[in-house]
Structure 1
Amino acid sequence: MNKVELQAKVDGLTDEINFLRTLYETELTQMQNHLHDMSVVLSMDNNRCLDLDSIINEVKAQYKDIAQKSKAEAEALDKPKLDELENKAGRHGEDLKSTKNEIMELNWMILRLRAEIENVKKQLQELQAAFSRPRMTWPGWCVTTRS
């Protein structure tokens, strides 16, 4: 295409743009005149009553959700510590039972040993009494005393 053809195309497009612009302005003027003559009646509900009950219920629900989440988070954080304390308490309880059983066994052993000591003391007293009495010896049956 040469310059003359391109110039002719540009002129044609410019004329078309000008025509469309004029058409637009004409239609816009007609619409404005048409709307200007028209009266519009709108009904509005100016009753601006706030539904406070639903707002309060919604806030309560949100607060409840937040509280439940906070409680769940706190429980999740404290659960390992609580489990560890329960395990320690269980171990200490078992240790305590074991120690109590050991103390009972030692007390029984002490009682048994005391009884044996008393028994041995009686035997010792009997032997000491037997040795302190006068004795008769076999040859001639003469009485001797030990001191």
Structure 2
Amino acid sequence: MNKVELEAKVDALQDEINFLRAVYEAELRELQGQIKDTSVIVEMDNSRNLDMDAIVAEVRAQYEEIAKNSRAEAESWYQQKFQEMQTSAGQYGDDLRNTKAEIAELNRMISRIQNEIDAVKGQVSLQLHQ
């Protein structure tokens, strides 16, 4: 795999991460907007003592915990994808170095064989002129 292909793959993975991050942020904004626009009608039974402040606080705490867990999960997923990209990029870099080394070795072999061919041609030419 050459450098251009490697860069293209890294760019594609970065684009995917950016897209997914934008989707996550849009969904989060949409959920927050839905919660802001939600109205609640509560009927109270006066025969019981309901602590509405405590209930609202408990619901709010549950929502905040869910939002925190969702954010943490998304960040974890992004970190995992980024780590995978780094690993892939490292592997592609290693592959590129190995391929360059192989090409250099093949070029040395070609040069050596070409020199051997030229030497044989010279010997044949000398034998033909004798």
TM-score (norm 2): 0.46
Structure with larger Rg:
1
Higher RCO, 1 vs 2 (CA within 8 Å, ≥6 residues apart): 2
